[in-house]
Structure 1
Amino acid sequence: MERKEFLRSLGAGAAFALTFSCINGCSNDDGELETKPVPTGVDFTIDLNSQEGLGLQNNGDFILKNDVVVVKNLEGNFIAASQICSHQQTDQVRFLDDNGGIFRCSTHGSEFDQNGAPLNTITNNPLKTFNTELNGNILRVFE
């Protein structure tokens, strides 16, 4: 079945809903994807007792800092990965508590496990991950 035929079989409303959400989510005002480079040279700290650190109190919480998603995973361990997706370099990667905890990019739906390995066929490229180290109340995120 050709694309036109398929869309016609869905009906105008369903076709519009499917295509508009993708077109709207995948482009900026100029019709181009807004892309960013994957972070490099990452080395920063977060004081878990600070206002910023309050975002990491509960298992499943995450914060965004320096294009990195810093997470307290469902087991209570701190992990970190690039906020920039390896699929098309958009900055929409977030942590979800689905399937034990995954990273997901809302631009095209790429999903990655906590080690950055792709979980679906949208991309074969792994998501860049970073080391974490906890010393008292200071969490270090680094390469």
Structure 2
Amino acid sequence: MDRKDFLNSIGMSAAAFALINCLGCKKTDGNSSSDTSGPTGVNFTLDLSQAANAVLLNNGGSLVSNGVIVAKTQAGAYIAVQRSCTHESYTLTYQAVNSRFYCPNHGATFSEGGTVTNGPASRALTVYNTQLTGTSLKVYS
């Protein structure tokens, strides 16, 4: 085998290897999934007297449960939206000071009511109902 044949062989092998590895390419970084919709059939209750949920006793507090961000606004209202951005499913954060949900991946923002306030997202968040009874906060579709 001469030098030219050898280099061709290496180049073809590398190209074939790259093609095989990229055929199934998709995001798997742990921060995203292929679903940009919120969970359906949501129906759970948080006991606000438990330490794990105590952050919701304070205005501006938030937590993630069952694929939903549950937050207490600066005004003291409870709100709940899907935890994933509608652009590429990255995990959102609640920014109480700015009264919004923020995607740290591409900078999309959403109002507390779930509407898009800054792209690249173009679809609103799924919003869930909340009902406080004593220290039990029910979150449901």
TM-score bracket for the superposition, by shorter chain length: 0.7 to 0.9
Q: In structure 2, how many angstroms separate the alpha carbons of the residues matched to 1:134 and 1:48? A: 10
Structure 2: state its 5+ residue gaps: 1-24
Q: Which residue of structure 1 aligns with residue 54 of structure 2?
A: 54
Give yes or no for contact 1:86–1:128 (8 Å, CA) kept in 2: no
Q: In structure 2, how many angstroms separate the alpha carbons of the residues matched to 1:49 and 1:96? A: 23
For residue 46 of structure 1, give the secondary structure of its aligned residue in structure 2.
strand
Q: Which residue of structure 2 aligns with residue 130 of structure 1?
A: 128
What's the % identity of the aligned pairs? 32
Give yes or no for contact 2:60–2:97 (8 Å, CA) kept in 1: no
CA-CA distance at 1:53 after TM superposition? 2.0
Aligned length in residues: 112
Q: In structure 1, how many angstroms separate the alpha carbons of the residues matched to 2:110 and 2:46? A: 24
Tell me, yes or no, if structure 1 residue 118 matches structure 2 residue 116: yes
State the AA in 2 paired with 1:47.
D
Give yes or no for contact 1:46–1:52 (8 Å, CA) kept in 2: no
Structure 1: state its 5+ residue gaps: 1-29
Q: In structure 2, how many angstroms separate the alpha carbons of the residues matched to 1:111 and 1:98? A: 13
Q: In structure 2, how many angstroms separate the alpha carbons of the residues matched to 1:77 and 1:32? A: 35
Q: Which residue of structure 1 aligns with residue 95 of structure 2?
A: 96
Q: Structure 2 length normalisation: TM-score?
A: 0.73
Q: In structure 2, how many angstroms separate the alpha carbons of the residues matched to 1:140 and 1:79? A: 11
Q: In structure 1, how many angstroms separate the alpha carbons of the residues matched to 2:135 and 2:96? A: 24
CA-CA distance at 1:36 after TM superposition? 5.0
For residue 123 of structure 2, give the secondary structure of its aligned residue in structure 1.
coil
CA-CA distance at 1:94 after TM superposition? 1.2
Give yes or no for contact 2:61–2:96 (8 Å, CA) kept in 1: no
1:24-103 → structure 2 map (5 Å cutoff)? 32=27, 34-35=32-33, 37=35, 38-90=38-90, 92-99=91-98, 101-103=99-101
Give yes or no for contact 1:85–1:93 (8 Å, CA) kept in 2: yes
Give yes or no for contact 1:35–1:89 (8 Å, CA) kept in 2: yes
Q: In structure 2, how many angstroms separate the alpha carbons of the residues matched to 1:141 and 1:51? A: 18
Q: In structure 2, how many angstroms separate the alpha carbons of the residues matched to 1:60 and 1:36? A: 29
